[in-house]
């Protein structure tokens, strides 16, 4: 039975996350203005780019959250089998797609489809986490001894609730008011960064 | 006789693979539509991008397969000589070219040349693997003791059959019906991800 | 209480810095000229790109300085808690934004807003360092034993003076004469690279 | 006296080299043709891209050669001081600029300025190596004990002859016939990859 080296998969995944989080900014293009040295015109152009900046910040923080989640999963893993490897590639696939919906959201800030599409793509990264956690629940041999079945199942349950469900909520709200979707997308990473908010509601 | 550190070459190659797999998405540009907030128009535009998305997924999975193959070769290697180093650079060269034929395939989905070109470039990555394996068969001193000549030769033979030959099949089919080439390109990584399909046919 | 592995955060941050410093060059586009083989026209076009080259060099050196500063902070750190992790993400966020103001500065070399915007963004990277150092002053448990409270406080004080204040000076000067801002931005990394200049003035 | 960790500088430099070598391909844009599914037109367009492909291969191999040279220098180094660090940043600066002259050379294949500019930029990477080697000759304390002064000086001398001088030869030839410069640029990495050619002429 084939086994993969945990360290190389960790390094490869970290490399991919570091590159995605940095590539995002390439989707923000320098604005074009008529009068080259007009500070007023450039200020106006930069203000119009606000949705691009905001969608960039949201995605940046979301990828940071993905990195932390990935970090936690790998901490609980002892062995990596073929299936875990390809489920991890599935996570990297959807994560590395994020620059596209981010640029779309920034360019079409008030378009319901753009706001919904963003949430749907992000929900696939969340489902990828659910599948990884499900695989760990079903295969105790892959887990560190310190990780009990109860805690693995609890982590799985939480990855469902605070994962795809939240993104689908955002993607649905987009069809009512796009701004509502933006708020949900922005709240998700902050919910995660300041865990006191989360624990109060649990 | 010059020797290279295996760890640094591994790290350098992993870095290159991680970057290529992530850069691919930059070739998918945000579509332009007339009515900025029309969800219908944007949905139509996204549906038209389907070939771009599909060519991106195919290349993403192929680079993941290349990573796994590279991982396996380096596991069987003990020492790295000058020739192995440059044969490895040859592999990285063709792999890092993949974003171009991927973008070409996505933009010209029904063009026979684009579909064929993709297969030809991918076949060069496969030939690079054949050359690396051939070098290991000829130089037992580079292999780990546990790797017998028989298994090195078997790995070489398999890298020919499941490598360039499959891509050339796709590149040839492209001149009959481009869609057929797409199917073959899509099947190659899945053939690899679900090895049961492969072993049944061996 | 959650702890993060210092090595993985170091590797992730280094990866992000290495990518940003390399991406910068992508913002310099090949100029277009009428007569394809006219050496004169191309020379003229390259001379016109001078502000692009200069803004690229300034940002390249600034990111190198950020790398050195980050290196020094992590050398004094023993443990990484949740807050340090997110303050580090804050630093990476602003650093990875640098390619945008760099391209803006290069494209609008004589625009007061562009010259000011550059300094403001860079000041946020400097504030991120101040926040990291402040966190270390307040939490002795995170520091190595060899790092005394006095030296931690001195490092904090210096990160304020040689950090945001210098960038704000540049950003303010931009509104008088943009060229003055350019000079300050160029001097900051040189001030750092040749520390004798700095120590003479302390 | 400040010392830098060799491993982190090695990792940072390797990261930068891996990114540059991979970014190069982004400068090759998908060609535009009138008839979307005409294999003939696309074949013609790809043939016209030949200078882009060739300049990409040349730069790819040159960066691989830079990686090998960097690898050898760091192997002979024991300690890294502040000056060595900034001379290394100088090397990374010029190396990370390579995508621009590469794109220029590919776009203006028959322009004397483009062919000359390429050689001049590459000569700066070679000068950066000369400066690093000079610093090691002058500071024996930074070298491993096994590296004698004679071998350090010989390495310095070789880095002058097979470095800037060859690139300046190419940059000068460009003003006579651009094709001649292309040949020299192509020969430099091959000279290095097949060292028997080099040793015969020494």
> What ranges in D112-148 are assigned the alpha helix state H?
112-138
Which of C70, C84, C100 has the most A C-beta neighbours within 10 Å, making it the best mutation to test the interface with A?
Answer: C100
Number of domains in chain D: 1
Cα C171 to Cα C76, C123, C146, C186, distances in angstroms: 31, 9, 37, 13
Each residue of D167-193: b (16+ CB within 10 Å) or e? Answer: bbbbbebbeeebebbbebbbebbebbb
CB distance C18–D16 less than 8 Å?
yes
Q: What is the pLDDT of residues D71-82, one digit of tens each?
A: 899 989 999 999
- Tell me what pLDDT residue B196 has: 67
Q: Which residues pair with B143 in a beta bridge?
A: B77
Chain A environment of C94 (Cβ under 8 Å): none
- Band of residue B3 on the pLDDT scale cut at 50, 70, 90: confident
CB distance C108–A46 less than 8 Å?
no
Q: Where are the beta strands (DSSP E) in A27-152?
A: 80-81
Q: Is D14 on the interface with B (CB under 8 A)?
A: yes
Average pLDDT over residues D104-117: 96
C vs D: CB pairs below 8 A: 75
Kindly state the greatest CA–CA separation across chain D. 66
- Tell me what pLDDT residue D202 has: 41
- What distance in Å separates the CA atoms of residue C76 and residue C133, rounded to the nearest whole number? 10
Which of B64, B72, B190, B196 has the most A C-beta neighbours within 10 Å, making it the best mutation to test the interface with A?
Answer: B64
- Band of residue B201 on the pLDDT scale cut at 50, 70, 90: very low
Mean pLDDT of chain B: 91
- What distance in Å separates the CA atoms of residue A170 and residue A172, rounded to the nearest whole number? 5
Each residue of C42-65: b (16+ CB within 10 Å) or e? Answer: bbebbeebebbbbbbbbbbbbbbb
Mean pLDDT of chain D: 91
Q: Is C75 on the interface with A (CB under 8 A)?
A: no
CB distance C96–A25 less than 8 Å?
yes
In a 13 Å sphere around the CA of C73, the CA atoms on its Cβ side amount to 30
CB distance A108–B15 less than 8 Å?
no
Q: What is the pLDDT of residues C84-95, one digit of tens each?
A: 999 999 999 999
Range in A147-151, C113-117, D112-116 with the lowest mean pLDDT: A147-151
Of A86, A107, A108, the CB nearest to B193: A86
Is the pLDDT score of C53 beyond 80? yes
B37 alpha-carbon distance from chain centroid: 39
Of D5, D93, D114, the CB nearest to C42: D114
Average pLDDT over residues C112-139: 96
Residue at token pair 């690229």: C56
Nearest CA in chain A to B193: A86
C148 versus B113: the higher-pLDDT residue is B113
Range in C172-186, D111-125, D182-196 with the lowest mean pLDDT: D182-196
CB distance B23–D26 less than 8 Å?
yes
- Work out the angle at residue C145's Cα, subtended by the Cα atoms of residues C140 and C149, and round it to the nearest 5 degrees: 50
- Tell me what pLDDT residue C202 has: 41
Is the Cβ–Cβ distance between D132 and D73 less than 8 Å? Answer: yes
- Tell me what pLDDT residue D196 has: 67
| Beta strands at C3-4 and C80-81: parallel, antiparallel or unpaired | antiparallel
- Tell me what pLDDT residue B6 has: 85
- Tell me what pLDDT residue A202 has: 41
- What distance in Å separates the CA atoms of residue B127 and residue A12, rounded to the nearest whole number? 24
Q: Which two tokens stand for residue A175?
A: 């069809």
- What distance in Å separates the CA atoms of residue A97 and residue A121, rounded to the nearest whole number? 8
D2 versus A57: the higher-pLDDT residue is A57
Residue by residue, what is the 3-state secondary structure of B18-41? Answer: HHHHHHHHHHCCCCCCCCCCCHHH
Chain C environment of A28 (Cβ under 8 Å): 100
> What ranges in chain B are assigned the alpha helix state H?
6-23, 39-48, 50-75, 82-97, 99-107, 112-138, 149-160, 166-173, 178-193, 195-201
DSSP C163: I
Is the Cβ–Cβ distance between B188 and B62 less than 8 Å? Answer: yes
Q: Is C61 on the interface with D (CB under 8 A)?
A: yes
- Band of residue C196 on the pLDDT scale cut at 50, 70, 90: low
End-to-end CA distance of chain D: 41
Q: Is A27 on the interface with C (CB under 8 A)?
A: no
Q: Which long-range contacts (CB under 8 A, 24 or more apart) does B165-170 make?
A: B166/B126, B167/B119, B167/B120, B167/B122, B167/B123, B167/B126, B168/B119, B168/B120, B168/B123, B170/B115, B170/B118, B170/B119, B170/B122
Q: Is B39 on the interface with D (CB under 8 A)?
A: no
| Beta strands at B3-4 and B80-81: parallel, antiparallel or unpaired | antiparallel
- Tell me what pLDDT residue D2 has: 67
- Tell me what pLDDT residue B161 has: 86
Q: Which long-range contacts (CB under 8 A, 24 or more apart) does B66-73 make?
A: B66/B17, B66/B91, B66/B95, B66/B125, B67/A12, B67/B14, B67/B17, B67/B21, B68/A85, B68/B192, B69/B129, B69/B159, B70/B13, B70/B17, B71/A4, B71/A5, B71/A8, B73/B129, B73/B132, B73/B133, B73/B136
Is the pLDDT score of C2 beyond 80? no
Average pLDDT over residues C73-85: 91
CB distance B22–A23 less than 8 Å?
yes
B47–chain D nearest CA distance, Å: 18
Which of D84, D21, D194 is CA-nearest to residue B12? D21
Chain D environment of B23 (Cβ under 8 Å): 22-23, 25-26
ipTM: 0.90
Q: How many residues does chain A have?
A: 202
Average pLDDT over residues C34-39: 91
- Number of helices followed by number of strands (H, E) in chain C: 10, 2
Is the Cβ–Cβ distance between C134 and C125 less than 8 Å? Answer: no
- Tell me what pLDDT residue C7 has: 83
Residue at token pair 């000279």: D191
D19–chain C nearest CA distance, Å: 7
Average pLDDT over residues C170-178: 95
Of C20, C27, C108, the CB nearest to A22: C20
- What distance in Å separates the CA atoms of residue B17 and residue B189, rounded to the nearest whole number? 16
- What distance in Å separates the CA atoms of residue A166 and residue A60, rounded to the nearest whole number? 18
- What distance in Å separates the CA atoms of residue B86 and residue D142, rounded to the nearest whole number? 30
- What distance in Å separates the CA atoms of residue C171 and residue D196, rounded to the nearest whole number? 56
- Tell me what pLDDT residue D161 has: 86
- What distance in Å separates the CA atoms of residue D38 and residue D49, rounded to the nearest whole number? 17
Is the Cβ–Cβ distance between A81 and A142 less than 8 Å? Answer: yes
Is the pLDDT score of D201 beyond 80? no
Residue at token pair 């190595």: C144
Which of C166, C170, C196, C199 is CA-nearest to residue C183? C170
Cα C36 to Cα B29, D47, D182, distances in angstroms: 28, 18, 17
User: Residue C104 belongs to what H/E stretch?
Assistant: helix C99-107
- Tell me what pLDDT residue A194 has: 84
Chain B, residues 142-201, CB within 8 A of chain D, namely: none
Nearest CA in chain D to C43: D113
CB distance B100–D68 less than 8 Å?
no
Domain encompassing residue B193: 3-201
Q: What is the pLDDT of residues B153-193, one digit of tens each?
A: 999 999 898 889 999 999 999 999 999 999 999 999 988 88
Of C24, C26, C39, the CB nearest to D111: C39
- What distance in Å separates the CA atoms of residue D117 and residue D121, rounded to the nearest whole number? 6
CB distance A100–B30 less than 8 Å?
yes
D6–chain B nearest CA distance, Å: 13
CB distance D107–C30 less than 8 Å?
yes
- What distance in Å separates the CA atoms of residue B81 and residue B1, rounded to the nearest whole number? 8
CB distance B26–D26 less than 8 Å?
yes
Which of D93, D129, D73, D139 is CA-nearest to residue C193? D93
- Band of residue B136 on the pLDDT scale cut at 50, 70, 90: very high
Give me the tens of pLDDT residue by residue for chain A, a chain 202 residues long.
567 778 888 889 999 999 999 999 999 999 999 998 899 999 999 999 999 999 999 999 999 999 999 989 998 999 999 999 999 999 999 999 999 999 999 999 999 999 999 999 999 999 999 999 999 999 999 998 888 889 999 999 998 988 899 999 999 999 999 999 999 999 999 888 887 655 544 4
- Tell me what pLDDT residue D146 has: 85
Chain C environment of D26 (Cβ under 8 Å): 26
Chain D environment of B26 (Cβ under 8 Å): 26
Q: Which residues pair with C201 in a beta bridge?
A: none
């Amino acid at each position: 039975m084939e086994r993969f080296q945990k360290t190389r998969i960790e390094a490869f995944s970290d490399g991919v996350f570091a590159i995605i989080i940095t590539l995002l900014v390439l989707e923000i293009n320098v604005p074009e203005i008529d009068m080259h040295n007009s500070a007023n015109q450039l200020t106006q152009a930069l203000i119009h780019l606000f949705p691009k900046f905001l969608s960039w910040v949201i995605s940046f923080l979301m990828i940071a959250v993905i990195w932390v989640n990935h970090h936690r999963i790998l901490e609980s893993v002892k062995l990596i089998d073929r299936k875990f490897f390809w489920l991890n590639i599935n996570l990297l696939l959807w994560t590395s797609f994020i620059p596209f919906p981010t640029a779309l959201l920034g360019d079409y800030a008030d378009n319901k489809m753009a706001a919904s599409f963003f949430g749907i793509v992000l929900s696939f990264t969340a489902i990828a986490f659910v599948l990884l956690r499900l695989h760990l629940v079903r295969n105790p041999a892959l887990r560190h001894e310190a990780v009990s079945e109860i805690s693995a199942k609890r982590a799985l349950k939480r990855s469902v609730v605070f994962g795809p469900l939240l993104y689908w909520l955002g993607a649905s709200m987009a069809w009512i008011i796009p701004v509502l979707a933006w708020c949900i997308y922005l709240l998700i990473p902050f919910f995660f960064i300041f865990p006191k908010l989360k624990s109060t509601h649990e």
